[in-house]
Amino acid sequence: MAGRTHIGDLLRAHRLAGDLTLEALAERTGVSGRAISDIERGVSVGPRRSTVEALAAGLSLDPRSRAEFLTAARTGRWFTGANPEQAEREPRRLVDFSGREAEVEALAALIIDSQDRSVGTPTVVVSGAPGVGKTTVVVEAVHRAGAGGRRRLFADLGGLGGARPNPLQVLQTLLRQIGRSADDVRTTEQAQAVWAEVTADGGVVVILDDATSEAQVRAVLESAGGSVVLVTSRRTLAGLEGARHISLSALSTADSVRFLDETIPLDQRQEGSLHELASLCGHLPLALRVAASRIASRPGWSVEDFARRLRSEDRRVGSLVAGDLAVAPAFAASYDSLSLPMQEMFRTLSLLRGSSFTASHAAAASDIDDDSATDALEELVDLGLVEPLRGHRYRLHDLLRIYARGRLHADVPPDVIATRRCRADRWLLATAGDAGMMFAPMTEGERLAARPGDGFTTSSEARDWLMAEADSWFAAYQWTAADGRHEEIVAATARIQHFGDLWHAWGRWHEFFALAASAAAAVGNAEAEARALIDLAHMHQHETFDFHAALGAARRALEIVHPSGNAALMAETHASIGFSAYHLGELDLAREASERALALSVELGHSEGEVTARGTLALVLLTQDPDAALGELRRIIEVTQSPTTVMSEHYRHITKLNAMGITARTLLVLKRYEDAIVEASALIRVVESADPGDVSSRARGHRHRGFAHLGVGDHVSARRDLVSALELAGKHRPDSWAADIEEALASLPDEGDDA
């Protein structure tokens, strides 16, 4: 092997050639496994002669290999400063590299294109979280691009946990690899001059690995001539002028599973799920490699055996160790580099619920202002510990969250942790309540008085927040309920509930109102319990389509509200019973309950209750007296269009859509197909104009128009509308509703015969 060879490269190569583990070589030689690992990883570049001779004996080297081995060790001891020998050791190319194809190909193309001096020579910074595979990607790209007659130089800049060479030492390291003596270069300016001279022809590709600051690499860039410089760093190094930036995050699920499939022996993959293992590793390349190596090194283990160890979050990070590969030390290097306030922020982020969060959420948990939280989060982003998302949101990788939580419980008293968690949850519920109040039936003045001065300014803004933060605020709601803080649940429900009817697609409102009912019962608030049960019934009707559960909830509500004589709640309860009974085919109960609800609502002057009851009556009459049903529907339209009707604009809109839908359906029953097409088309136009996101109403319009087209024999239009109805509704539809459409589609002639 010509030239100076790093002792670590030789040691690892001979050990693997002899099929020896670290433990086996340690047992043979008496040298500790840690010492052997340090030499291989370049932490120890000049081991003592006695250690080297013991290793040579244990490796059973032939005379030539032994001499080369001893020479490499002496060379390592000759150099001083920031481990120059370590700094020149380029990481080996991984034979089992997979994934990151887009990033690798982009980098390789830049390197190849840079040979054309007219294109310009790039500086590229590859940044990302610890363990994300930055160096691996760069090394792979350089090898794919090929040397092209250029020399490849490497300098390890020490990272966050090692010796950090200064700019002069970095330049000296690179000059040595070119063959220029660096002994007489005493200043950075001198080194830059020599570096500019030897790189003037652009004949090198430089990898500066694990940089911690712009200053470490700027001296190289300023005098690099036409050389390609590739920098890896946990920091973004945003201050490097003219640099291109590639930020790496976790692998895709497909790439993660492919890597595990290619590296874990087949017989060990038979038991357990590679998808689950990849997920438990957070799709982090380092974690995936550790897991694969750990399993492969234990022939008696299966994927399931190791996955079982990782399922416990308390053990997960600590279990991701395979020899000298481990996840925790990579995280610790970044964590230990943080200031004390930043460590506190990082730990606190582990308390935040949901898959992502905002600076305001972090600020609430940390008891600081939003601007300070934003500054702290941006610093963590710069260090690769937090991932920035669109919409001013952030994410903490699953394994980093687990690591942060471990440090939190190790370093922070339990009472302080409980206080921070409670503070964050109360902020979430308060903010969700402010958003919910934007949809309450009240005047603008009342709405402004009901929320803090810095609350939401538009319903669109409130809607976006509630939907984006649903994972977070509902998790806080569940935790608060489980913690027995029932009064807080009752108060939060009263404010958030107004949004419930606007987002049935969420699919979790029935859970929300079930918790609300339980909390109200726990504090003896009968009115709040009845209100929650009515809303629960409504969600079973429109979210789960479980009309038996809806009827049961409404009947429990009636039992609670009847003794109080609260006519308004009784009207709502009867209306709910009527609607559920109709869908269960109990038409007599449906008509009786709806007529009671109608009478109470008219007596109270509640327009919303009146049109709701009339809507259900129209459905019942649809099969008994369709003309009478149309009369009820005309009355609904009159009420909603009357300027004297007190009704929220949202409810007015929803009622109009419902009336139009039922009218189209009634016209179908009357076999007035042309009129049904006109009414259903009008419904579709109104929805698409006012709220295209209301797929449920759009689906109804297409469904009714499809059956109307079927009635007039227009099979092409019928098929188009009925298919659209199924696609729009998706999973958000009752089975019977879908069955009617699917049966109609099956009855149509083949598409080629439609004409």
pLDDT digits (tens, 9 = 90+) for 407-445: 999 999 999 999 999 999 999 999 999 999 988 876 556
The strand pair at 228-233 and 244-248 is best described as: unpaired
b vs e for 295-325, b when ≥16 Cβ sit within 10 Å of the residue's Cβ? beeeeebbbeebbebbeeeeebbebbebeeb
Q: Cβ atoms within 10 A of the Cβ of 455, count?
A: 18
Please tell me the CATH code under which domain 7-78 is placed.
Answer: 1.10.260.40
Question: How many angstroms separate the CA atoms of 683 and 728, rounded?
Answer: 15
Is the pLDDT at 754 greater than 60? The verdict is: no
Query: Which span out of 97-101, 191-195, 492-496 was modeled with the highest average pLDDT?
Result: 492-496
Q: Cβ atoms within 10 A of the Cβ of 9, count?
A: 16
What CATH topology corresponds to 337-410? Answer: Arc Repressor Mutant, subunit A (1.10.10)
H/E stretch holding 74 reads helix 63-78
- Structure-token match 């002899």, residue found: 18
Say which residues have a Cβ less than 8 Å from residue 535's Cβ, sequence separation at least 6.
Answer: 497, 500, 509, 513, 516
- Structure-token match 């009847």, residue found: 562
Mean pLDDT of the chain: 87
pLDDT tens column, 457-469: 888 889 999 998 9
0.75 surpassed by pTM: no
What CATH topology corresponds to 101-248? Answer: Rossmann fold (3.40.50)
- Structure-token match 């002639």, residue found: 749
pLDDT tens column, 533-566: 999 999 999 999 999 999 999 999 999 999 988 9
Q: Are 640 and 611 in contact (CB under 8 A)?
A: yes
Is the pLDDT at 81 greater than 60? The verdict is: no
User: Dihedral, CA atoms, 258, 263, 268, 272, nearest 10 degrees?
Assistant: -30
pLDDT tens column, 686-703: 999 988 778 888 999 999
pLDDT at position 79? 37
List residues bridging with 229 in a β-sheet.
123, 206
pLDDT band for position 4 (cuts 50, 70, 90)? very low
- Written as one letter, the residue type at 12 is R
Question: How many angstroms separate the CA atoms of 720 and 725, rounded?
Answer: 9
Task: Output the CA torsion sign for 479, 484, 486, 488.
Answer: negative
List residues bridging with 231 in a β-sheet.
125, 208
pLDDT at position 660? 93
Helix (H, G, I), strand (E, B) or coil at 33: helix
Burial class (CB in 10 A: 0-12, 13-18, 19+), 62: exposed
Query: What sections of 337-482 are H helices per DSSP?
Result: 340-349, 359-366, 370-382, 398-411, 414-437, 444-450, 459-468, 470-482
Give residue limits of the domains in the chain: 7-78, 101-248, 253-329, 337-410, 585-670, 674-753
